[in-house]
Amino acid sequence: MTGLNDSGNSEVRKTLGGIEVPIIATKKWSEDMGSTADENLTAGETPYTRGIHEKMYRTRTWTMRQYAGFSSAEETNKRFRMLMELGQNGLSVAFDLPTQLGLDSDDPMSEGEVGKVGVAIDSVEDMKKLFDEIPLDLVSTSMTINSPAIVLLAMYIVCAEEKNIETRGLRGTIQNDILKEYIARGTHIFPPSPSIRLITDIFEYCTMNLPNWNTISVSGYHIREAGSTAVQEVAYTLSNALAYIDAAISKGLDIDEFAPQISFFFNCHNDFFEEVSKFRASRKLWYDLVNERYSPKNKKSCLLRFHTQVAGVSLTAQQPQNNISRVTIQALASVCGGTQSLHTNSFDEAIGLPTEKSATIALRTQQIIAEESGVANVADPLGGSYLVEGLTSKIYDLAREEILKIDKLGGSMKAIEAGYQQREIHQAAFRFQKEVESGIRKIIGVNYGKNEEENDEYSIQSINSKIREHQIKKIKDLKSNRNEKICQSILREINKISSTDENIFPIVLEAVRARCTLGEIINSMKEEFGTYRPPSGF
């Protein structure tokens, strides 16, 4: 556990999120924290505190899903295939900033950003190159994309079609979580209402056509990266998820048809026991909230299935090899907490994009945990610990209180529009930074354990400076070889349907098949939906 109490008293310690913990966690302390843990409760039993599967990793290890993407589709394809050869069993796509904002590489706003923080995808032709020689019917693919998620998913479907793969069997996830963009990340395009409409259109389409696809990955990761506490991460994430359910039900969808396709994405930070407890509390809280509010008949409607990524914000540019230890601790907490899939960061990510060497070490870290540590042999290995059970109950109670507070503000969207979550995160981040700067909270290599001389040099993954020119040429070639009349007709139809309640997904698919670009499709929606600038939270 890390952190002193507010007075600096070394006898009272706090978790990273500020929850006081004793020197010795007793049964009485655990009960005082609200723990009513049933010693006979096993994994796979409601309310799923101990895990959603009875045997957990004894049946199947979590999916090792390393996040990757840089430069062109061709370059990222090479990295995907390297990771799969090393034993990775799931893909996770990082898109560059223009793609995340629905901009083509030839847009003036894209200059200087093409291929920098992810892969540039302008059309289905790029998507086909991204997955060249990768069996989409045998792997699951996660795509970290939000505002233009409907277009990127359509590209993935068309890519599979043109590989003669049965699309109903496709497995994977799109992040598709716009509310956390307004709260913490900022890669939004449209105002909230049409953004939510696009999400529920995806829910509806996938329910009928992609039954194995996770239509949303409600993300606490970016909320935590912005500076929230563990409790805030849980509360704001689950509150956003409730908003999506409400919107889908308002659209006329049946919760038991779409809710089983909802997944979650959490951060795992440095405080080992708090993080394990956070995951356990989240499962129980989601089960309780969904049952209380919607009374689903399908038990899968209230299962909290989640992907975890270790905390990028915890990585340091100083003594970067120390990050291997941080990542290992965080990954271990994720597994002890019962994650369904996991990404381990590379040690050099505070310096630049991961190299092949650092990406390999990150994957090997997961494999060592899975095959050598023994933690995968037991479902919920820390269940029954007075400390973990007490923290689980406390996080559950505090997160539930915060969700009720958001309910009183009118729900997640109303609270976001008022800047509530943004303000709370800013204040939590400020408190943490004060602790670091005062030395109360020690960060090795930053304010404690510093080396007098740090001259180690690390190779950094370089991006081809000609990547934008390469993408622009591909766009020109694409447009010169397509049926322009058909494309313009489809783009006009997208604009027309944007003003109705009709599901827009089928016409987006037609646009992708006709070789319309990402930017063209998004601009056709933008003419009707407009754009949005949210409050800062101050």
Q: What is 499-515 written as a DSSP string? A: TSSS--HHHHHHHHHTT
Instruction: Characterize 241-256 residue by residue with b for buried, 16 or more Cβ atoms within 10 angstroms of its Cβ, and e for exposed.
Output: bbbbbbbbbebebebe
Q: What is the CATH number of domain 29-438?
A: 3.20.20.240
φ, ψ dihedrals at 342, nearest 5°: -150, 140
The one-letter code for the residue type at 16 is L
d(CA 531, CA 483): 29
Q: Which residues pair with 341 in a beta bridge?
A: 63, 307
Strand order of the sheet with strand 90-94?
213-214, 171-174, 140-144, 90-94, 63-68, 341-343, 306-310, 262-268, 216-219
pTM over 0.85: yes
φ, ψ dihedrals at 21, nearest 5°: -130, 145
Q: How many CB atoms lie within 10 A of CB 392?
A: 33
H-helix or E-strand spanning residue 388: helix 386-408
Q: What is the pLDDT along the chain (538 residues), one digit of tens a residue?
A: 444 444 444 567 899 999 999 998 898 998 889 887 777 789 999 999 999 999 999 999 999 999 989 999 999 999 999 999 999 989 999 999 999 999 999 999 999 999 999 999 999 999 999 999 999 999 999 999 999 999 999 999 999 999 999 999 999 999 999 999 999 999 999 999 999 999 999 999 999 999 999 999 999 999 999 999 999 999 999 999 999 999 999 999 999 999 999 999 999 999 999 999 999 999 999 999 999 999 999 999 999 999 999 999 999 999 999 999 999 999 999 999 999 999 999 999 999 889 999 999 999 999 999 999 999 999 999 999 999 999 999 999 999 999 999 999 999 999 999 999 999 999 999 999 999 999 999 999 999 998 876 656 677 776 777 999 999 999 999 999 999 999 999 999 999 999 999 999 999 999 999 999 999 999 999 999 999 987 654 4
d(CA 281, CA 397): 9
Are 439 and 449 contacting, i.e. CB atoms less than 8 angstroms apart? no
